[in-house]
């Protein structure tokens, strides 16, 4: 339960000594450690136990129990071995992913500076308690929620909580307790970053009572449902089990009526269970997803849950944060408006080409750069990002000077700072007074346009400073408003030459230089990545806590929507629509591409609304404010480099390079995996249905089981697993991103797939039984040899049947299955193992294999050739039928 903490009274800083050690220990015991609880890792036993929770495992377990009961130990151990192998593979993969996340969490240990008994001490951040005096400065992360009583030019980046990209200037002004988070300027919040200045504050909330803790609790309360692939494979397993149980019950009832022995009936039931259920399906699905995880790991995508890759491939809506996801979370100069004209800059420029615009060589531009460098408290190092500190706008100004090849160190050294008027909410400008070698003193000013204009008397022109008229003032105010409406942050710059360092009111009678507009630029890979998503039929929606104009500007820059008239919906408007839903409001909500000033709870609501509409929703983000929606979404995608621990814990995928393009790679890989899974499931079902039909037909005509349980299990472990796995890990085709997402309700086996699998199985069964009856009745071969022909003939037919899985009507030599090197390796391996079953005495005896002659070899190969030829003809006929003109109804 969150603890309500009364804010301490404001005390003069000189009188503050902090808590005593005894009082700190008492409060730490009372309030608990300053740690945000995360969902505990599952124990290895729980992860292992989850691998056995499936209907297929239950049926195979039942078959193993019956085998042991009738003393068929080899069959029982073989079935148990299959179950254990699948469980161990799934356990190893999930346990490794969990261990990777634990390693990421261990990187998050931090310290905090507090005042205890009058001394500044560095302590582990989880030892900070309510009532502590917390000291913060630029470069530190705030350890707890705290109320400020001292602040010197203090600015804090709260984008992880609010989504607002610009730092918040902290003040001692009292604000209402129920004020929005972004407006609580007198409060520091746990997990936010100090970018400028220093401050002292009383800790008012720790651990779960902080804003960070509250959001984390929302994350833990958000339920995570099974992924669509998991649900679809479960439904397929149920269908196969129902088929198995139905046929087994039919055999048992018919056998009882005919007076057959109980042993034979149960033996037949075991054979049917082993034949009908593709034991390799779970293994192959697991390994296919694991191989997809490996491919994505090479692209710096950490997949925490195995089936998450496929789900991302089926996503048709992506909610993305703006700050740090679509943009760089780093302000840059976008536009400079000088009295002589306007300069536009390209984001990411490392060096400005001065011949591109004559204004870059103007005197006004050089004056502007000098003001930008001198009226600046940031530090900037192009070679060391960790050495760059300060207000993002000031950092951007220094970066501009660097790319303009301006002598920053020389200018700062030659213009020693004599005095400073810091920025505050009243004056809304910053002014610095400097000594100069050429004039008595020099003033540099930057701030809000209206304030700088109010203090300006002249404007810099090509002919030098000229009087600033009222008309020009109005024009500059209009330009500033135009830039702001475009979503750009704007600063005005001015200077003044003084006759004396002691001149009063030195920040007046300024010479106006112009406007500098800033924007958090889009990441370089975002535009092509978004274009690929749109081409693939995936709708991308921006959801941010930032200003509507800024959000809309970024959306248009990255071409988020094909509609040039894209509008933005604010959190207040969204609240009204969700509180009073109606048809028109719901349509507006579902048609909106940009949401701004949105709270964490509203992000959660948006995900739920789209899920209720039947969409598969992915949510990307990096901040604490994204975490609840990341967990609620079908797939949460967190940014690993700049993302918070809470966001990474909540997500199913973590982008370790923070590249939006990796999302497109994950989408493509997910689609390839689902196509591969659908392909090998069709292969497995058609092969196992053929085994089922062979056993059923043999039983109906009275020739025994046709195939032994161990023979079927051997076939399923060889021909089912290895060729199916080769299909599952195929490279796929680039065409997967040229189609819209599949319906989330589309099963792994569609009705057409069931019909096709049945046709393949019937064709295979007919060819095999023809060989069997030819061998047994026409040539008089023994039942055992005829059984061997059926066994090896089924193996050969299933091996060549893999080439029928390339797609309907795809020519044999021009499909990705034929070009898949893993398929050829699988065929070579299976052929080797089949030869081993014939020549290895122990295995040969276990499978009941006899000496076979050339006639038997011919009867083994013939069904395989028939299966391949007629399978290709069937695919060709179906493709012609699908392309035929339809008569309109």
Separation of alpha carbons 97 and 393, rounded Å: 39
Measured from the Cβ of residue 733, the count of other Cβ atoms closer than 10 Å reads 15
Element (H, E) at 610: helix 600-612
Q: Which residue has the tokens 């193993």?
A: 64
Is the distance from CB of 554 to CB of 540 less than 8 angstroms? Answer: no
Is the distance from CB of 495 to CB of 557 less than 8 angstroms? Answer: no
Name the E strands within 162-222: 168-169, 187-188, 193-205
Separation of alpha carbons 526 and 189, rounded Å: 31
Separation of alpha carbons 604 and 632, rounded Å: 7
Whose CA is closest to 415, among 435, 442, 389?
Answer: 435
Is the distance from CB of 616 to CB of 311 less than 8 angstroms? Answer: yes
SS3 of 406, please? coil
Separation of alpha carbons 537 and 473, rounded Å: 49
| Helical axes 783-801 vs 821-839, angle rounded to 10° | 170
Q: Which residue has the tokens 């507006």?
A: 588
Separation of alpha carbons 399 and 384, rounded Å: 13
Whether 321 sits among the annotated catalytic residues: the reply is yes
Whose CA is closest to 441, among 493, 397, 495?
Answer: 495
The residue from 72, 126, 132, 321 that is catalytic is 321
Tell me the β-bridge partners of 196.
155
Separation of alpha carbons 431 and 434, rounded Å: 10
Separation of alpha carbons 847 and 25, rounded Å: 72
Name the E strands within 631-743: 635-639, 653-655
How far, in whole angstroms, is CA 121 from its chain's centroid? 39
Active site residues: 321
């Amino acid at each position: 339960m969150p603890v309500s903490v009364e804010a301490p009274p404001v005390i003069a800083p000189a009188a503050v000594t902090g808590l005593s050690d005894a009082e700190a220990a008492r409060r730490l015991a009372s309030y608990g450690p300053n740690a945000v609880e995360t969902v505990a890792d599952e124990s290895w036993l729980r992860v292992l136990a989850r691998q056995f929770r499936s209907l297929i495992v239950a049926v195979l377990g039942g078959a193993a129990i019956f085998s042991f009961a009738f003393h068929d130990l080899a069959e029982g151990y073989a079935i148990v071995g299959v179950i254990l192998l699948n469980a161990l593979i799934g356990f190893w993969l999930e346990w490794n992913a969990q261990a990777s996340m634990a390693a990421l969490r261990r990187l998050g240990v931090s310290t905090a500076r507090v005042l205890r008994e009058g001394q500044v001490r560095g302590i582990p951040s989880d030892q900070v308690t309510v009532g502590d005096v917390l000291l913060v400065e630029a470069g530190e992360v705030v350890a707890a929620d705290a109320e400020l009583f001292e602040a010197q030019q203090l600015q804090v980046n709260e984008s992880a909580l609010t989504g607002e990209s610009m730092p918040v200037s902290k003040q001692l002004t009292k604000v209402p307790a129920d004020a929005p988070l972004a407006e609580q300027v007198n409060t520091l919040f746990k997990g936010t970053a100090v970018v400028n200045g220093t401050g002292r504050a009383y800790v008012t909330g720790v651990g779960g009572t902080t804003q960070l803790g509250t959001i984390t609790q929302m994350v833990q309360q958000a339920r995570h449902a099974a992924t669509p692939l998991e649900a679809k494979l479960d439904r397929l397993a149920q269908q196969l089990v129902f088929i198995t149980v139905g046929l087994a019950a039919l055999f048992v009832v018919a056998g009882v009526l005919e007076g057959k022995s109980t042993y034979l009936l149960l033996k037949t039931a075991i054979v049917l269970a082993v034949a009908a259920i593709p034991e390799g399906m779970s293994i192959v699905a697991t390994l296919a997803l694991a191989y997809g995880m490996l491919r994505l790991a090479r692209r710096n995508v950490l997949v925490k849950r195995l089936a998450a890759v496929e789900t991302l491939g089926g996503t048709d809506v992506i909610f993305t944060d703006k700050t740090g996801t679509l943009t760089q979370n780093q302000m840059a100069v976008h536009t400079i408006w000088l009295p002589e004209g306007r300069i536009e800059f390209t984001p990411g420029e490392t060096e400005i080409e001065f011949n591109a615009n004559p204004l870059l060589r103007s005197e006004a531009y050089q004056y502007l750069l000098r003001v930008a460098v001198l009226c600046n408290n940031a530090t900037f190092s192009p070679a060391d990002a960790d050495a760059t500190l300060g207000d993002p706008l000031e950092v951007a100004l220094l970066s501009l000077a660097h790319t303009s090849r301006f002598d920053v160190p020389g200018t700062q050294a030659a213009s020693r700072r004599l005095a400073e008027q810091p920025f505050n909410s009243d004056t809304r400008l910053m002014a610095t007074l400097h000594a100069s070698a050429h004039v008595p003193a020099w003033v540099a000013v930057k701030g809000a346009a209206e304030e700088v204009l109010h203090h300006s008397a002249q404007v810099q022109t090509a002919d030098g400073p000229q009087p600033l008229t009222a008309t020009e003032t109005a024009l500059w105010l209009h330009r500033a408003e135009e830039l702001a409406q475009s979503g750009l942050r704007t600063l005005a710059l001015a200077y003044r030459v003084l006759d004396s360092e002691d001149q009063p009111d030195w920040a007046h009678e300024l010479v106006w230089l112009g406007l500098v507009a800033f924007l958090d630029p889009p990441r370089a890979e975002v535009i092509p990545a978004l274009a690929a998503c749109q081409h693939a039929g995936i709708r991308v929606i921006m959801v941010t806590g930032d200003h509507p104009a800024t959000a809309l500007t970024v959306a248009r820059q990255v071409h988020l929507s094909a509609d040039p008239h894209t509008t933005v919906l604010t959190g207040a408007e969204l609240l009204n629509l969700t509180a009073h839903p109606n048809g028109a409001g719901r349509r507006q909500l579902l048609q909106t591409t940009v949401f701004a000033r949105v709270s964490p709870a509203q992000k959660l609501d948006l995900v739920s609304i789209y899920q209720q509409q039947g969409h598969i929703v992915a949510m990307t983000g990096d901040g604490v404010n994204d975490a609840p929606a990341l967990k609620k979404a079908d797939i949460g995608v967190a940014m690993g480099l700049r993302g918070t621990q809470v966001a990474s814990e909540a997500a199913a995928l973590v982008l370790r390079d923070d590249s939006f393009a990796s999302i497109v790679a994950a989408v493509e890989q997910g689609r390839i995996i689902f196509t591969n899974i659908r392909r090998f499931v069709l292969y497995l079902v058609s092969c196992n249905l053929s085994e089922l039909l062979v056993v059923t037909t043999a039983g109906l005509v009275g020739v025994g089981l046709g195939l032994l349980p161990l023979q079927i299990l051997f076939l399923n472990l060889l021909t089912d697993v290895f060729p199916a796995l080769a299909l599952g890990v195929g490279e796929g085709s680039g065409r997967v991103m040229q189609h819209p997402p599949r319906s989330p309700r589309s099963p792994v086996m569609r009705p057409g797939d069931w019909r096709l699998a049945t046709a393949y199985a019937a064709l295979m069964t007919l060819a095999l039984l023809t060989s069997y009856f030819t061998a047994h009745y026409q040539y008089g071969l023994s039942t055992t040899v005829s059984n061997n022909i059926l066994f090896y003939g089924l193996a050969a037919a299933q091996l060549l049947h893999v080439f029928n899985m390339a797609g309907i009507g795809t020519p044999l030599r021009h499909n990705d299955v034929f070009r898949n090197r893993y398929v050829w390796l699988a065929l070579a391996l299976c052929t080797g193992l089949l030869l081993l079953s014939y020549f290895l005495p122990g295995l040969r005896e276990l499978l009941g294999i006899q000496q076979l002659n050339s006639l038997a070899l011919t009867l083994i190969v013939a069904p395989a050739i028939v299966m391949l030829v007629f399978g290709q003809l069937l695919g060709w006929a179906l493709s012609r039928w699908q392309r035929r003109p339809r008569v309109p109804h």
